[in-house]
């Protein structure tokens, strides 16, 4: 016969563990260790870094300043604020949404959950655009940014090109005040016109006008979205990520329409997703007024940016 073993009841109840208690945690060094531990348990890739960034943010000091004050104690209210930020991060909210900031092109951008967090990969779009303009010696280009989000591409280009006129469109209304704020913070607000609409919707159809069109469109295939890391899947705006069944919805429409807006000899510089380059180039081949010009890889060696040029020798 099988006997069931019952556990002996302890005479003295074990002490209640309070893993989230901060009562014995006093110094900056201890707070970082405490938070990093929680982040590790939550499956976060960079627990220590995130703990430092969030503590520096909470204390309104830089990360380097944190190192010189490791043994200092913090006030109770600072502890409470930090704890709240740590809880947000353990729910996999991205650090950038908690701090409200993200660096891009060595510039500080405000971000919120209404916009995609600027990625280092997207700097390749900026760099490619600058090279094309420099090689053709266009000093006062007219540029159109489609799907501007936080405004990072438009603002970065404007800071590099003091004579550029830029138009920036986004289909989500909520992103535009933020993009505008970023443009003003970097003193380029006067040279960027922001508008809300789908694709080229807000641009008056006239003679092809733009020297350059830049875009980081939504390009994740819908079925892949739910497999992405929680920071992206749960927090970043779907509208900025979801590129339809194969991720290519946006490119089809863009490549079909863009020659009406780009002057002959002008360029389209588009970010593409992992392994999408060939499909996007194929879509471009269907448009007889565009020539595929080149692609660029990101820092991880993935094809990341595709460049088309509008033929100089075709009728409008």
Which residues here bind ligand GLN, judged by CB under 6 A? Answer: 116, 119, 216-220, 232, 241
Strand partners, 213: 144, 268
Distance from C-alpha of 150 to C-alpha of 108, rounded to nearest angstrom: 11
Paired tokens of 29: 């060094």
197 φ/ψ sector (left φ>0, alpha ψ -120 to 50, else beta): left
Sign of the CA dihedral running 54, 56, 57, 59: positive
What value does the CA radius of gyration of the chain take, rounded to a whole number of Å?
Answer: 24
Measured distance CA(138)–CA(129) in Å, rounded: 11
Closest separation between CB of residue 221 and ligand GLN, Å? 10
Helix, strand, or coil (residue 11): coil
In 151-271, where does DSSP find H-type helix?
152-160, 175-185, 222-225, 230, 249-257
Rounded to a whole number of angstroms, the minimum distance from the CB of residue 220 to ligand GLN is 5
Q: Which is nearer to ligand GLN, 31 or 44 (CB)?
A: 44
Of 126 and 241, which CB lies nearer to ligand GLN in the complex structure? 241
Q: How far is the CB of 119 from ligand GLN (least distance, A)?
A: 5
Q: Smaller CB distance to ligand GLN: residue 160 or 298?
A: 298
Q: How far is the CB of 231 from ligand GLN (least distance, A)?
A: 9
- List the beta bridge partners of residue 294: 307
Choose between 83 and 122: whose C-beta lies nearer to ligand GLN.
122
Closest separation in Å from C-beta 60 to ligand GLN = 30
Q: Decide whether 6 or 227 has the Cβ nearer to ligand GLN.
A: 227
Chain centroid offset of residue 52 CA: 21
Q: Which is nearer to ligand GLN, 83 or 102 (CB)?
A: 102
Give the position of tokens 């993200």: 102
149: tokens are: 């989000």
Q: In the bound complex, what is the minimum distance in angstroms from residue 181's beta carbon to ligand GLN?
A: 21
We find the least distance from the C-beta atom of residue 244 to ligand GLN, in angstroms, to be 11
Cβ proximity to ligand GLN: between 48 and 171 the closer is 171
CA dist 160 → 106, 136, 164 (Å): 12, 16, 9
């Amino acid at each position: 016969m099988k006997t069931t073993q019952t556990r002996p009841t302890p005479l003295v109840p074990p002490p209640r563990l309070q893993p989230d208690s901060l009562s014995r945690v006093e110094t900056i060094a201890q707070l970082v260790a405490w938070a990093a531990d929680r982040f590790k348990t939550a499956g976060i890739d960079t627990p220590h870094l995130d703990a430092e960034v969030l503590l520096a943010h909470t204390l309104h000091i830089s990360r380097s300043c944190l190192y010189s004050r490791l043994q200092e104690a913090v006030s109770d209210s600072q502890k409470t604020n930090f704890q709240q930020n740590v809880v947000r991060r353990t729910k996999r909210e991205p650090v950038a949404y908690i701090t409200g900031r993200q660096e891009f092109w060595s510039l500080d951008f405000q971000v919120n959950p209404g916009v995609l967090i600027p990625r280092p990969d997207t700097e390749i779009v900026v760099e490619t655009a600058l090279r094309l303009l420099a090689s053709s010696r266009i000093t006062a280009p007219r540029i159109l940014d489609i799907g501007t989000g936080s405004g990072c591409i438009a603002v970065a280009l404007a800071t590099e090109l003091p004579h550029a006129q830029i138009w920036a469109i986004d289909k989500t209304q909520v992103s535009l005040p933020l993009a505008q704020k970023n443009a003003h913070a970097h003193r380029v607000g006067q040279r960027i016109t922001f508008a809300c609409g789908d694709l080229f919707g807000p641009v008056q159809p006239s003679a092809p006008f733009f020297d350059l069109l830049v875009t980081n469109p939504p390009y994740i295939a819908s079925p892949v979205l739910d497999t992405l890391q929680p920071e992206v899947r749960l927090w970043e705006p779907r509208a900025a990520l979801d590129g339809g069944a194969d991720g290519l919805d946006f490119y089809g429409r863009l490549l079909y329409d863009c020659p009406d807006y780009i002057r002959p000899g002008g360029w389209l510089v588009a970010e593409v997703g992992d392994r999408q380059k060939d499909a996007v180039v194929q879509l471009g081949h269907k448009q007889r007024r565009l020539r595929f010009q080149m692609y660029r890889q990101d820092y991880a060696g993935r094809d990341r940016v595709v460049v088309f040029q509008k033929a100089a020798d075709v009728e409008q």
